[in-house]
Amino acid sequence: MHTQALKEFDGDIYASIGRELKRQEEGLEMIPSENFVSPAVLEALGSILTNKYSEGYAGKRYYGGCEFIDEVETLAIDRAKQLFGAEHVNVQPLSGAPANIAVYFALLSPGDTVLGMDLSHGGHLTHGHPVTYMAKIFNFVRYKTNAEGLIDLDNLRQMTLEHKPKIILVGYSAYSREIEYAKIKAIADEAGAITMADIAHIAGLIAAGEMSNPVPIFDVVTTTTHKTLRGPRGGMIMCKEKFAKAIDKSVFPGFQGGPHENNIAAKAVAFKEALEPAFKDYAKQIKANAKILEEEFKKRDYKLCFGGTDNHLLLIDVTPKNLSGKEAQIALDKAGITVNKNMIPDDPRSPMDPSGIRLGTPALTTRGMKENEMRQIAAWIDEAIMNWQDETKLADIRRQVIELTKKFPLYSI
């Protein structure tokens, strides 16, 4: 066994981690799905729990020596139940996509229909995009937003009655509005459909009481544990007790092998953090910061998809500013501001060079930035977009960004 520290044993990896830390410290991380975990979460993630195999579930493992692993996993489950009001929780999914796929295999037969949001209207790849393998196995029908950028529930009901889906799926990766879970549940009940919500992006806002909670209403809810929940990269499934056995069996042994117990320990730590009063303040500030960005971009005549935001993110069509989403992302990278290029509803452009950019406030809020910083950042984003080919201007913005980030330091590794 090598007992040298990483710096001495593998200088290449150590240096790459150091450069990434510097990038995170000196930049403005605005990809809505990214966040900064606490040192306690990092400590659990890098713990000796990574050494242990533990196929199965607490009290029903296929390996010996799992008594303390059971403690960890049970704590994670109990805390998640408390956070979301869930009847049953599975914390073993490795990430959001495996969580969704495990639910499909638990509740569907090949050829069954799922009604899910179109990717360009804010949905997710795993909600039935044709490029995914799930689309070859199940019949995905995709609904869209209306001209105002909102989900048309009358149209959703018509599609439900027409296509008779086994599952109606809501919850999105680029949609910025609240979701009317009770009304959607009523539509599903009328058609005898199972309700499923993917709250990967907004789980932290829901846990803090800052957005509506589908867990008591819907049959199944999936989420990631990073993003607004500010935990390690991983997935989780919450469901009514009637679906518990099928879903647990689908996760293991149906789809995954040994769970990553170091990751589950880090999830448990993050859930404990989310149960603290300070997390509610954090979630409120995420939304307040996003609202300021909305106001500032509207002042500057940007085209905001869905009309604005009720959560942590904004989807912006930048083509009226005479550049593509890809060009905007590259320019902002040079300015030290990280966003991601993104499709807009019915985007005429390609996914790799789309019309929009997606940006959000969770990571900046974790650093302690508030309304005044958002106003300054919006001004920099506008300046970078309006001068996207001016390398000197972009470099000047980057220098100002670095000065701002010095006032909101990150941890050091």
Mean pLDDT is lowest, of 195-199, 218-222, 333-337, 409-413, for 409-413
Q: Which of 233, 272, 300, 303 is catalytic?
A: 233
**CA distance linking residue 190 with residue 196, whole number of Å:** 15
Q: Which of 227, 230, 267, 326 is catalytic?
A: 227
The reply to whether 94 and 139 lie within a common domain is yes
Q: Which of 145, 224, 228, 319 is catalytic?
A: 224
Give the domain-ending residue among 274, 309, 335: 274
Q: Which of 29, 73, 118, 198 is catalytic?
A: 198
Q: Which residue has the tokens 């009290």?
A: 59
**CA distance linking residue 8 with residue 151, whole number of Å:** 55
The reply to whether 153 and 197 lie within a common domain is yes
The reply to whether 251 and 382 lie within a common domain is no
Instruction: Identify whether 233 is a catalytic site residue.
Output: yes
205 beta partners = none
As given in the structure block, the two tokens for residue 189 are 């009940």
Question: Which of these, 204, 158, 157, lies nearest to 183 by C-alpha position?
Answer: 157
CA distances from 69 to 65, 81, 363 (A): 8, 19, 31
Report if residue 215 sits inside a domain: yes
- Give residue 177's domain range: 42-274
Instruction: Identify whether 353 is a catalytic site residue.
Output: no
Instruction: Return the H-helix or E-strand segment holding 239.
Output: strand 235-239
Report if residue 160 sits inside a domain: yes
- Model confidence band, residue 412 (pLDDT cutoffs 50, 70, 90): low
Query: b/e string for 264-279 if b means 16 or more Cβ within 10 A?
Result: bbbbbbbbbbbeeeeb
- Model confidence band, residue 27 (pLDDT cutoffs 50, 70, 90): very high
Report if residue 312 sits inside a domain: yes
User: pTM for this structure?
Assistant: 0.95
Task: List the Cα angle 213/73/284 in 5-degree steps.
Answer: 30
Instruction: Return the H-helix or E-strand segment holding 135.
Output: helix 134-137
Going across the sheet that includes 235-239, the strands are: 88-90, 235-239, 220-224, 194-198, 167-170, 113-117, 139-143
The reply to whether 249 and 302 lie within a common domain is no
Q: For the packed helices 325-334 and 371-386, what is the interaxial angle rounded to 10 degrees? A: 110
The reply to whether 229 and 289 lie within a common domain is no
The reply to whether 251 and 341 lie within a common domain is no
- Count up the domains in the chain and report the number: 2
Report if residue 326 sits inside a domain: yes
Q: Which of 55, 70, 152, 180 is catalytic?
A: 55
Report if residue 161 sits inside a domain: yes
Instruction: Identify whether 62 is a catalytic site residue.
Output: no
pLDDT, one tens digit per residue, over 127-180 is 877 888 999 999 999 988 887 778 889 999 999 999 999 999 998 777 888 999
pLDDT, one tens digit per residue, over 270-322 is 999 999 999 999 999 999 999 999 999 999 999 999 999 999 999 999 999 99
Query: b/e string for 15-40 if b means 16 or more Cβ within 10 A?
Result: eeeeeeeeebbbbbbbbbbbbbbbee
Greatest C-alpha distance within the chain: 64
CATH number of residue 337's parent domain: 3.90.1150.10
Q: Which amino acid is located at 382 in the chain?
A: D
pLDDT > 90? residue 2: no
Report if residue 179 sits inside a domain: yes
Q: Which residue has the tokens 């390690």?
A: 232
Q: Which of 14, 52, 53, 144 is catalytic?
A: 53
The reply to whether 208 and 294 lie within a common domain is no
The reply to whether 261 and 292 lie within a common domain is no
The reply to whether 248 and 137 lie within a common domain is yes
Give the domain-ending residue among 274, 294, 310: 274
pLDDT, one tens digit per residue, over 71-82 is 999 999 999 999
Instruction: Identify whether 175 is a catalytic site residue.
Output: no
Report if residue 379 sits inside a domain: yes
The reply to whether 240 and 354 lie within a common domain is no
Give the domain-ending residue among 222, 243, 274: 274
Secondary structure in 3-state letters for 1-56: CCCCCHHHHCHHHHHHHHHHHHHHHHCEECCCCCCCCCHHHHHHHCCHHHHCCCCE
Going across the sheet that includes 303-304, the strands are: 303-304, 313-317, 356-360, 340-342
Question: Which of these, 123, 93, 118, 100, lies nearest to 220 by C-alpha position?
Answer: 100
The reply to whether 293 and 269 lie within a common domain is no
Instruction: Identify whether 71 is a catalytic site residue.
Output: no
Instruction: Return the H-helix or E-strand segment holding 325.
Output: helix 325-334
CATH number of residue 236's parent domain: 3.40.640.10
DSSP per-residue letters across 195-220? EEEE-TTTHHHHHTTSS---TTTSSE
% the chain with pLDDT above 90: 89
Collapsing DSSP states into helix, strand and coil, what is residue 367? coil
- Model confidence band, residue 413 (pLDDT cutoffs 50, 70, 90): very low
Task: List the Cα angle 179/235/294 in 5-degree steps.
Answer: 40
Report if residue 15 sits inside a domain: no
**CA distance linking residue 72 with residue 355, whole number of Å:** 45
The reply to whether 249 and 297 lie within a common domain is no
As given in the structure block, the two tokens for residue 324 are 């593509």
Instruction: Identify whether 227 is a catalytic site residue.
Output: yes
pLDDT > 80? residue 125: no
